[in-house]
């Protein structure tokens, strides 16, 4: 399985959704859509995104 990293060429903001999609075998746009939909629910989604942005290495 691929390791968790942010790609350099398939980014919209920071590459977190693209990196998660590649890691788990999903299309990056599906992960982005799920993230946007999850932001409609209460919870720490944005904080988790920012933390992943900080801890995920670049490809």
Q: SS3 breakdown of the chain: % helix, strand, coil, rounded to 5? A: 55, 5, 45
Quote the pLDDT of residue 3: 82
Contact call for residues 31 and 20 (beta carbons, < 8 A): yes
Quote the pLDDT of residue 13: 87
Whether the model pTM is above 0.85: no
Contact call for residues 28 and 22 (beta carbons, < 8 A): yes
3-state SS assignment for residue 58: strand
pLDDT per residue rounded down to tens, the chain (59 residues): 568 888 888 888 898 999 999 898 999 999 999 999 999 999 999 999 999 999 998 88
Quote the pLDDT of residue 2: 67
Quote the pLDDT of residue 5: 87
């Amino acid at each position: 399985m691929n390791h968790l990293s942010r790609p350099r060429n398939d980014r919209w903001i920071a590459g977190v959704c693209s990196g998660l999609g590649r890691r788990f075998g999903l299309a990056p746009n599906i992960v982005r859509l799920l993230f946007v939909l999850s932001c409609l629910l209460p919870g720490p989604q944005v904080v988790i995104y920012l933390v992943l942005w900080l801890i995920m290495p670049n490809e």
